[in-house]
Structure 1
Amino acid sequence: MEKNQELLIQQLAALLKGEHDPLANAANLSAFLYRNLDAVNWLGFYYQQGNELVLGPFHGQPACTRLPIGQGVCGTAFDKKSALRVDDVSTFSGHIYCDSASRSEVVVPFYGESLSGVLDVDSPDFNRFTDADVDFFERVVELYQHAITPQT
């Protein structure tokens, strides 16, 4: 990524500070990152409902509304409980094409007592994301989870 990831984390932490609503924070988080990251054509959230991931706040083209857990990049990452980076989505067996312009993707799952899902980030460029980007998005998800967890 071209911009300083640490600065983006600090700005995002400030944006989420004091707000605990999951949808409000997901909306602001997706808007902030979408506007501040290069070569990203879709960025947003899917939330678990039963055996599916259901579309949440996002920026980009209209998206698939429901994704089966265990299928596609999002469903596989959620099912395996691990971040997943795909350099060329056409090589991912069972990839679900919500936006035909997407060429690479990172998905980071999250799990909570009342809310679980994934952060999904797509790029129109092949090999867009690095290991450092995966680490960055994992930190973003940690910030999100901390913000939506009521502090006692």
Structure 2
Amino acid sequence: MAEDLTITRNISKEEQYQSIIPQIEALLYGETDLIANLANVAAALKEQFGWFWVGFYLVKQDELVLGPFQGPVACTRIKKGKGVCGASWEQAAAIIVPDVDAFPGHIACASASKSEIVLPLIVNDEVIGVLDVDSEVLNKFDETDQAYLDQVIHILLNR
């Protein structure tokens, strides 16, 4: 297991992902506990990119329940279809929101959040949770983030 990350920020976003993904693989190597792995992935992504909030919500019965995260306190429970996280769960699809104030039904857990990307965690065609990333900068996330964060989710779910 890796104990330290090598964080490099003075390179392109794509290069940052290419640097952190192998480190995440090493960090998770041999660990099968999902919660431990979610916690370390949230920490690694927050350290590398300095995003405002990075974390996971897990499906428990009819709600998303807050899981491991890095950042300020967050909403604890989210109903299916509500906000960006609930919409991602309902649609089983990634959602990129350039301006959270323009997203119908956005749940403002933190007023400093300005843009967001949410990706579902899918196992056996069922959404078991979502990865939620928020930035205090408008228009922070794009298809590059989606593609690389999909890779991170694949690594997480295939331990």
TM-score calculated relative to the size of structure 2? 0.88
- Matched residue SS, 1:99: coil
Report the equivalent of 2:158: 146
Spell out the pairing of 1:64-143 with structure 2 (5 A cutoff).
64-112=75-123, 116-143=128-155
Once the two structures are superposed, residues 10-63 of structure 1 have per-residue CA deviations (whole angstroms, 9 ceiling, x without a partner) of 11111111100011001111111101114x100000000111100000000000
Q: 1:26 aligns with which of 3, 26, 38?
A: 38
Q: Which runs of 5+ in 2 are unaligned?
A: 1-12
Report the equivalent of 2:4: none
Q: 1:57 aligns with which of 64, 68, 75?
A: 68
Using the alignment, how far apart are the partners of 1:91 and 1:50 within structure 2?
29
Q: Identity rate of aligned residues, in percent?
A: 43
Once the two structures are superposed, residues 90-143 of structure 1 have per-residue CA deviations (whole angstroms, 9 ceiling, x without a partner) of 000000001110000000001226981000000000000121011111111111
Pairwise CA distance, 1:6: 1.4
Report the equivalent of 1:46: 57
Do the aligned partners of residues 84 and 49 (structure 1) sit closer, same or farther apart at CA in structure 2, a change above 3 Å counting? same
Q: Which runs of 5+ in 1 are unaligned?
A: 148-152
Could you tell me whether the CA contact under 8 Å between 2:118 and 2:132 is conserved in 1? Answer: yes
Report the equivalent of 1:150: none
Number of residue pairs the alignment of both structures matches: 146
Pairwise CA distance, 1:8: 1.1
Pairwise CA distance, 1:7: 1.7
Using the alignment, how far apart are the partners of 2:52 and 2:144 within structure 1?
19
Pairwise CA distance, 1:3: 4.6
**Deviates most, 108-117 or 73-82:** 108-117
Could you tell me whether the CA contact under 8 Å between 1:3 and 1:37 is conserved in 2? Answer: no
Could you tell me whether the CA contact under 8 Å between 2:16 and 2:48 is conserved in 1? Answer: no
- Matched residue SS, 2:24: helix
Instruction: Specify the code of the residue in structure 2 equivalent to 1:83.
Output: A
TM-score calculated relative to the size of structure 1? 0.91
